[in-house]
Amino acid sequence: MDASARASNAFYLDRQARRESNARSYPRRFPVALKSAFGSTFTDVDGRTYLDCLAGAGTLALGHNHPEVIETLQDVLSSGLPLHTLDLTTPVKDQFVADIFDTLPSGLREEARIQFCSPSGTDAVEAAIKLAKTATCRTDIVSFRGAYHGMSQGSLSLMGSLGPKGSVGQLVPGAHFFPYPYAYRCPFGRGGEETASLAAEYFERALRDPEGGINLPAAVILEAVQGEGGVIPAPAEWLRAVRRVTRDLGIPLILDEVQSGVGRTGSFYAFQKAGIVPDMMVLSKAIGGGLPLAVVVYREGLDLWKPGAHAGTFRGNQLAMAAGSKTLEIIERDGLVERAAMAGRRLRANLERIAAETPYIGEVRGEGLMLGVEVVDPAGRPDALGHPPHGPEIARMIQNDVFRAGVILETGGRYGSVLRLLPPLVISDEEIDQVSGVLASAFERLGRKAA
């Protein structure tokens, strides 16, 4: 193999396909081998540059290779600090805990405890569930349709999507699924504001019903904006109702902020729009500044774990903690939470303009820079609410088309029919308009093709 062939996407993709698991997913949609990345862009080994609206599945709040984060990592590397510390403390860890606690809402901050977990989001979800069960001496967990909490067996048992669960068989028992306030595809067939009030009422009645068949759960876990489930923001009044009911019934409420946290939705945590305070929070992705890190933060009253009740070798990633602290500092200094809100408004307005011109978009929704475009098939039979059916093939065509034009967008939601935009919080107005222009052209081409 000569050097020029070795440097091509095709070379690496072929080797990847022959050696890596059939479960690999992103390379099927984005057939590239990455070479370098900076800010909101990356460049493949063929020298093509892409605008990255996936950003490590929402991990890269500051985009790729932020120079100050890189400098911090270099400082740690040359300082002699042990990089691997189990759960022993260090000055870097001490600072990181202080920085995380500073982000917590009042009402939790004063009585917070933190557990460092193995480094992915799903590990922290597992830890939260274990802790809730230990603290309440109960077994069942309430989750919501469309939920995504990760791919390990406990998290999978709380997942809405049936795809990854189907072949695994019996998962962790005691999971119950309630309707999430997804108004566009209303689980009650009503839509609009009624969806949230019906979902709240249903939730409360079911949990209070002595003949409801559901044991008082150890926890209720939810995302304030469902991400993988199709970018579905929960209305504030529904979040407040869930908080009220869980508090009244003594059920710990776990907010999974793995994807929506750290400024992504235009508030530091997505639940803050509702003014609620959870009993536990699960954090990962952006919290490690782009490096693997996951924690559970919870009220100290729940801390009924015995020493060693939760462990894991890789809980002491000093580089991730240093990168996380630096990221939090930059987010605060540069007003990036407000910036995410403002940039999100711009992107959303652009997307709504596109939606106004095409029959293929059913809804544009989301918060801050966590936005989704529900793609529909206008030729299909509308549902009871008058909405055309999901358009997964059309969504995939758009995804491929924008990829060819240099934009990376993931799909999600039911049947994969929602285009998801999760760019770094530092994306510029110019880049936003570029992404929007590429999307607009893709939908325009589709219109011509379908005509």
For the bound state, the minimum distance from the C-beta of residue 232 to ligand PLP, rounded and expressed in Å, comes to 12
Is 52 near ligand PLP (CB under 6 A)?
A: no
Which pair of tokens denotes residue 341? 């809100």
Cβ partners under 8 Å of residue 249, min gap 6: 207, 208, 216
CA distances, 54 to each of 139, 170, 426 (Å): 36, 32, 13
* Selection from 91, 136, 94 nearest residue 298 by Cα: 136
At 68 the three-state DSSP class reads: helix
Q: Which element (helix H / strand E) includes 112?
A: strand 112-116
Cβ proximity of 308 and 339 under 8 Å: no
Is 280 near ligand PLP (CB under 6 A)?
A: no
CB closer to ligand PLP out of 267 and 284: 284
Is 122 near ligand PLP (CB under 6 A)?
A: yes
Q: How many whole angstroms separate alpha carbon 130 and alpha carbon 305?
A: 9
Q: How many whole angstroms separate alpha carbon 328 and alpha carbon 325?
A: 5
For the bound state, the minimum distance from the C-beta of residue 230 to ligand PLP, rounded and expressed in Å, comes to 12
Q: How many whole angstroms separate alpha carbon 345 and alpha carbon 289?
A: 24
CB closer to ligand PLP out of 324 and 388: 324
CB closer to ligand PLP out of 175 and 438: 175
Is 431 near ligand PLP (CB under 6 A)?
A: no
Binding residues among 102-121 for ligand PLP as defined by CB under 6 A: 120-121
CB closer to ligand PLP out of 259 and 399: 259
Is 178 near ligand PLP (CB under 6 A)?
A: no
- Interaction mask 231-260, ligand PLP, x per CB under 6 A: -------------------------x-xx-
Q: Which stretch binds ligand PLP (CB under 6 A): 45-53, 146-154, 334-342, 347-355?
A: 146-154
What's phi and psi for 154, nearest 5 deg? Answer: -70, -45
For the bound state, the minimum distance from the C-beta of residue 179 to ligand PLP, rounded and expressed in Å, comes to 18
CB closer to ligand PLP out of 226 and 246: 226
For the bound state, the minimum distance from the C-beta of residue 120 to ligand PLP, rounded and expressed in Å, comes to 3
For the bound state, the minimum distance from the C-beta of residue 116 to ligand PLP, rounded and expressed in Å, comes to 14
Is 156 near ligand PLP (CB under 6 A)?
A: no
Q: Position of tokens 């306030």?
A: 181
Residue in 223, 377, 410, 431 binding ligand PLP, rule: CB under 6 A: 223
CB closer to ligand PLP out of 147 and 331: 147
* Burial class, 307, CB count within 10 angstroms (exposed 0-12 / middle 13-18 / buried 19+): exposed
CB closer to ligand PLP out of 64 and 149: 149
Residue in 52, 228, 363, 431 binding ligand PLP, rule: CB under 6 A: 228
Strand-pairing partners, residue 280, are 254, 298
DSSP 301: G
* Selection from 279, 283, 239 nearest residue 260 by Cα: 283
Is 126 near ligand PLP (CB under 6 A)?
A: no
Q: How many whole angstroms separate alpha carbon 354 and alpha carbon 440?
A: 6
Which pair of tokens denotes residue 295? 């924690």
Binding residues for ligand PLP (CB under 6 A):
57, 120-122, 125, 148-150, 223, 227-228, 256, 258-259, 284
